[in-house]
Structure formats: structure tokens, C-alpha cells
């Protein structure tokens, strides 16, 4: 059994002070249990808020922190970027890679996703690879083609024998920030495709070690149903992760 992972992607919300307030209210709402070797509650604040998040989290191993984006170079003349090693030094252990906003707003390509996955693993960050189709691609019957292509590109960046596996997040673009949630059948189908592909490209053992999260308009009212779907190992929550009470309710569903 893979433990359920409840992840919050704060996107461009919550500076350092709001981050401290979030944690103090979150901890008064919810006491995460810690049973495994890996954190099961992940928070991805803006990079500038990572030190505040690390300080507020204290010594609680059940909460993992991540950065929302990294550059694949370790340093250089790259104004505005952050390297994986800097994220690690600021308290991150995870990195979102290929989020749909990075792909569609900032033009991130599959080739860059591969480089970022490789850079994250090289620096001991666990990549959380985001994949998902647009509405046009879904209407065109291309769901499998798109998410398999995105997954394959990311897997090129994972060295054979990598100790800690990646996480994958299926986030249909049309369900992000729209209030539209994929049906549980859509989610089961996409997660099944991803699990089978992980097995085909690597091995059954590798595939079984990869948590596949669903993201797209997850909220307290639908989290339990989504988490009950076959092959759904967790959720990646945007808007509803900004409020400590609503994130705590979602975390209790896991
Ligand atoms: P929403 O939960 O706001 O739809 O965002 C999902 C998402 O993009 C998480 O990474």
C-alpha cells in the first residue's frame, strides 16, 4: 500500500508572513500522522517563502516542502531562476516539474522537463512530474498520446537505478482552477494509463513505487471520492490548499 500524499501547490500566493500564519493555523486544525519513511503532506510555497515554511514546519517529518520550479543548471547568469541545490538549501526536498502553468504560460517543453527532472534527482530533490491534456486534446481523443508523451520525456531524465522514485501528478489542464473536476472514471482511466506506461518503460517494481496524484479543482467536498479511485495515490491541490482549514479537511480525507 502506498500512503496517500496530500500536496498543496500555492502557486504565486503567500509570502513569508502569510506562510507563517498558514502553518500556525494548519497545525491547530490538523495533526498529521507520520507512519512511513517519506512525508505525506507536501507544501509547495513560492520559492521566497521556503525558509519561512521550513522554520514554521519545525521538526515535523510528516510535512515535506517543495519548490514549484527549478532551472536545470546548478548556477549561472540566469536572472530570476533557482537551482535545485538552492532549493535544497532553503528546505525543499521535492520539486514540481512541468506544471501546466509552466508549460502553457511559460512555454516549458518536454525536453526542458527531462533536464529539470535530471537536475532535481542529481541534487537529491524528488521530482513531482505534472502531466495532463488540454480540453482540445481531450476532445480530439488524444489523452493517452499526450500524457504518455509527457511521461516518457520526464522518464528520460530519471537515471536507471535511481534510489528514490519520482512522483507523477495527472492534472488535466481544463480542470485546473476552473471548478471542473474530472469524473472518477476519467481519473481512473488516466491513472491506469500512467501506471501501465511506467511498467512498460521501466518495470513493475518501479511503477509500484511511484505515487500518482490527481490535481484539478480538488476541494474538501470531492477529495475523499477522488482518493478512493484505483491508482490515485494522492491529490495535488491548488486554490483549496491556500486556506489552512480547507487544506486540513482535504488532508483528513487521505
Ligand atoms: P486548482 O486546485 O486550483 O484547480 O489547481 C490545481 C493545480 O494546478 C495544482 O497544481
Output the tens digit of pLDDT for each of the chain's 254 residues.
788 999 999 999 999 999 999 999 999 998 877 777 788 999 999 999 999 999 999 888 899 999 999 999 999 999 999 999 999 999 999 999 999 999 999 999 999 999 999 999 999 999 999 999 999 999 999 999 999 999 999 999 999 988 778 999 999 999 998 888 889 999 999 999 999 999 999 999 999 999 999 999 999 999 999 999 999 999 999 999 999 999 999 999 98
Ligand 1 midpoint to CA 77 (Å):
31
pLDDT of residue 59: 85
Q: Among all chains, which residue has been given the C-alpha cell 518501479? A: 206
Ligand 1 atom at minimum distance from 175 CA: 4
Asked if residue 250 lies in contact with residue 237, where contact means CB atoms within 8 angstroms, the answer is yes
Ligand 1 atom at minimum distance from 44 CA: 10
> Does 171 sit in the ligand 1 pocket, CB within 6 Å?
yes
Class of the 5-253 domain? alpha beta
Name residues whose C-beta falls within 8 Å of residue 126's C-beta, 6 or more positions apart in sequence.
Answer: 93, 94, 95, 120, 164, 165, 166, 167
Ligand 1 atom at minimum distance from 177 CA: 4
d(CA 207, CA 90): 30
Question: Measuring CA to CA, which residue among 164, 171, 181 is closest to residue 225?
Answer: 181
Question: Measuring CA to CA, which residue among 50, 52, 30 is closest to residue 41?
Answer: 30
> Does 235 sit in the ligand 1 pocket, CB within 6 Å?
no
Work out the burial of residue 110: count CB atoms within 10 Å of its CB; fewer than 13 is exposed, 13-18 middle, 19 or more buried: middle
pLDDT of residue 173: 95
pLDDT of residue 36: 77
> Does 215 sit in the ligand 1 pocket, CB within 6 Å?
yes
Work out the burial of residue 232: count CB atoms within 10 Å of its CB; fewer than 13 is exposed, 13-18 middle, 19 or more buried: buried
pLDDT of residue 101: 97
**Annotation says 99 is catalytic:** yes
Amino acid at each position: 500500500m502506498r500512503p496517500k500524499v496530500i500536496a498543496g501547490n500555492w502557486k504565486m500566493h503567500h509570502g513569508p508572513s502569510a506562510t507563517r500564519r498558514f502553518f500556525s493555523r494548519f497545525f491547530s486544525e490538523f495533526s498529521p500522522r507520520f507512519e512511513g519513511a517519506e512525508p505525506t503532506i507536501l507544501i509547495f510555497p513560492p520559492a521566497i517563502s521556503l525558509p519561512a515554511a521550513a522554520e514554521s514546519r519545525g521538526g515535523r517529518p510528516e510535512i515535506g516542502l517543495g519548490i514549484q520550479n527549478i532551472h536545470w543548471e546548478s548556477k549561472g547568469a540566469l536572472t530570476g531562476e533557482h537551482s535545485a541545490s538552492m532549493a535544497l538549501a532553503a528546505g525543499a526536498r521535492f520539486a514540481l516539474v512541468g506544471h501546466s502553468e509552466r508549460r502553457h504560460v511559460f512555454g516549458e517543453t518536454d525536453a526542458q522537463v527531462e533536464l529539470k527532472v535530471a537536475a532535481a534527482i542529481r541534487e537529491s530533490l524528488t521530482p513531482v512530474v505534472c502531466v495532463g491534456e488540454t480540453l482540445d486534446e481531450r476532445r480530439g481523443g488524444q489523452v493517452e498520446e499526450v500524457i504518455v508523451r509527457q511521461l516518457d520525456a520526464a522518464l528520460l531524465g530519471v537515471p536507471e537505478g535511481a534510489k528514490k522514485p519520482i512522483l507523477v501528478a495527472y492534472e488535466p489542464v481544463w480542470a485546473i482552477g476552473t471548478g471542473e473536476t474530472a469524473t472518477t472514471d476519467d481519473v481512473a482511466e488516466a491513472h491506469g494509463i500512467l501506471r501501465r506506461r511506467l511498467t512498460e518503460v521501466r518495470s513493475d517494481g518501479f511503477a509500484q513505487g511511484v505515487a500518482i496524484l490527481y490535481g484539478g479543482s480538488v476541494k474538501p467536498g470531492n477529495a475523499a471520492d477522488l482518493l478512493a479511485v484505483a491508482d490515485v495515490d494522492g491529490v495535488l491541490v491548488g486554490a483549496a490548499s491556500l486556506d489552512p482549514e480547507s487544506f486540513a479537511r482535504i488532508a483528513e480525507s487521505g
